Structure 1
Amino acid sequence: MTLGQAQGADDEGVRLQKVLANAGVASRRVSEQLIVEGRVRVNGVVVTELGSRIRPENDLVDVDGVAVQLDQSKRYVMLNKPTGVVSTMKDEHGRPDLRRFTKDWPERLYNVGRLDAETSGLLVLTNDGELAHVLAHPSFGVTKVYIAKVDGRVTPQTVAQLTKGIELEDGPIAADKARLLGSERGTSLVELTLHSGRNRIVRRMMAAVGHPVVELVRRQFGPLHLGTLPAGRARELTTVERGALLTLARRDPGDQETP
């Protein structure tokens, strides 16, 4: 099927291979090859004709199923939020907030979701309000991975209990995955994978099984991994990371994300 059939067969817009090259997907020649090979879709329709034109401001493009960022005015930043900082751009109580980490970018950035003040780790900052709303919405169930240092020696039975499910004051909850990373000096390290967006959920879960959290860090948010980014540092997402994040944001909320 041609793009002309998909969007009304007119000559408006920009040639698809030029759009792909401008977006940093590949050179124009390689982009043409991707199109001919049927690896490019526009609004869900495979496009194979090199004369095809699109409207970058309206159309959604993906290559090999990975979304392409066409709007270069959108900024996507990963922050390793330190403890003691609240997840807001301006705190009415005067506590340290996220503004200090956005000074390097001219755009007004906002956080996707929240981490409580005493939890450190991966937080996404963006000026893409639509993406922020989608990824923060409970129906999307974006997977998050946390590492918790907790009081006491966690047993395999407790780990099993976390995945089987426990009852909290606001309803039952179960971790998608849980594993014990080790124990020493009266504390344990537990890795929890969750898709719940409920407030302070990891702390409440661990307290409910008798192991209050001492320290908590979020290592992963959807397809994004914190890696070696130091606490208090922020960086722009790579092209691959942006593609993965946009792909996640465009999926049907009924689809299950693969952790």
Structure 2
Amino acid sequence: MRSSGSGRNSGRGNHRGAGNNRDERQGQGRPRKPRPEERRYDVGPGASQDGPKSGRGGTARGGAKGGPKKAQQPGQRGRTAPARSREYEARAEERNRERYAGKKDVKLPKTFPGAEQEGERLQKVLARAGYGSRRACEELIDQARVEINGEIVTEQGRRVDPEKDEVKVDGLTVATQSYQFFSLNKPAGVVSTMEDPEGRQCLGDYVTNRETRLFHVGRLDTETEGVILLTNHGELAHRLTHPKYGVKKTYLAHIVGPIPRDLGKQLKDGIQLEDGYARADHFRVVEQTGKNYLVEVTLHEGRKHIVRRMLAEAGFPVDRLVRTAFGPITLGDQKSGWLRRLSNTEVGMLMQEVDL
């Protein structure tokens, strides 16, 4: 019994001993491979032989993520250079200015194609003026619908100076600069000024969000409704209101009759007012309901209250007055208080009206 018990104990002992003997035999025959916890990761000069093999890279087993950092080589920068102070930058800038103060500007050679030409490409100018994409503007040129200074353009690539050259499409002048043109259906009660010191509603209230300063073309009475133009084109606005060009304005007036058959003739022949004769260019009855008449009056004068005074002098005071057209710009179905941008065709027609 003792021998068997001692045999079992010796067996366990031999098992443990076998492992120890194996380590000893390995240590005697060849260098013992270090365990993970015994490895060293010194690199560079003076690294131990127990370090990682060159083929395993810097992510050796047991090391931190990314492996050990390599030792800094002599001559390499260790840190980022400190930022220069503002005083240093200011002194450097001052030295540079003194260095180049007396020298002329250096003109670089124009090496790209077409650089020696001045102005802008015609299709670019047309596209900016609102005639569609550049491709669509090139088609206008191909169709011989564009002219520069009276000469029809027949080839692509022409350049123009928007400040000097006159560009036309289908015979109508193109506003090549950054001009803006609007039509407002002015409601009754709105003052025809851009600003009102008394705080009343005025035309400026409808264009407060515009970056460019606009001004109105002519005036309408406070109680008169209808078309009034707003623009930043000073010359156009001046000509549209100048008597020399005689731009016609059309009004619808509501009066109470009965009216004589020769009322139109009286207005066309001229009505004597306190500031001289006033003549209508056209007159017609649009609608009649009993004694209520809706008449249309067209004239080219722009004197104050001119239509109201003419009809009142003829014996028919005006109950309501609406301007339905200013030259070629008509009111159409534009609602009261609505502002709309004029189309390129309308702008061209306005310019044609006053020889621009």
- Deviation string, structure 1 residues 178-220 (Cα, Å, up to 9, x no partner): 0011223533111011111111110111011110111000000
State the match for 2:220 in structure 1: 115
- Deviation string, structure 1 residues 117-151 (Cα, Å, up to 9, x no partner): 11111001112222212212221211111000113
Alignment of 1:145-164 (within 5 A): 145-164=250-269
SS at match of 1:216: strand
**Of 23, 40, 59, which aligns to 2:165?**
59
SS at match of 1:138: coil
User: Which shifted more, 123-132 or 109-118?
Assistant: 123-132
Which residue type is aligned with residue 46 of structure 1? I
State the match for 1:256 in structure 2: none
CA 1:101–1:24: 2 relative to 1, 3 Å: closer
Alignment of 1:1-259 (within 5 A): 11-71=117-177, 73-251=178-356
- Deviation string, structure 1 residues 213-248 (Cα, Å, up to 9, x no partner): 110000000111111111122121123222322333
Which residue type is aligned with residue 162 of structure 2? P
SS at match of 1:220: strand
Distance 2:168 2:290 in 1: 50
Contact 1:224/1:241 (CA < 8 Å) preserved in 2?
A: yes
Distance 1:67 1:135 in 2: 15
Contact 1:156/1:180 (CA < 8 Å) preserved in 2?
A: no
Which residue type is aligned with residue 152 of structure 2? V
What are structure 1's unaligned runs of at least 5 residues? Answer: 1-9, 252-259
Contact 1:141/1:197 (CA < 8 Å) preserved in 2?
A: no
Cα offset, 1:55, TM superposition: 0.8
- After superposition, the CA RMSD in angstroms is 2.1
Distance 2:144 2:338 in 1: 40
CA 1:105–1:180: 2 relative to 1, 3 Å: same
Distance 1:223 1:147 in 2: 16
Contact 1:154/1:183 (CA < 8 Å) preserved in 2?
A: no
Tell me the TM-score normalized by structure 1: 0.84
CA 1:174–1:41: 2 relative to 1, 3 Å: same
User: Which shifted more, 186-195 or 209-218?
Assistant: 186-195
What are structure 2's unaligned runs of at least 5 residues? Answer: 1-115
Identity %: 49
Distance 2:249 2:157 in 1: 42
Distance 1:231 1:27 in 2: 33
Contact 1:165/1:172 (CA < 8 Å) preserved in 2?
A: yes
Contact 1:40/1:62 (CA < 8 Å) preserved in 2?
A: yes
Contact 1:79/1:122 (CA < 8 Å) preserved in 2?
A: yes
Larger Rg: 2
Contact 1:43/1:60 (CA < 8 Å) preserved in 2?
A: yes
Tell me the TM-score normalized by structure 2: 0.63
- Deviation string, structure 1 residues 69-100 (Cα, Å, up to 9, x no partner): 211x3211111111111110122343321121
Distance 1:224 1:88 in 2: 20
Larger relative contact order (C-alpha < 8 A, sep ≥ 6)? Answer: 1
Cα offset, 1:29, TM superposition: 4.7
CA 1:206–1:225: 2 relative to 1, 3 Å: same
Which residue type is aligned with residue 239 of structure 2? V
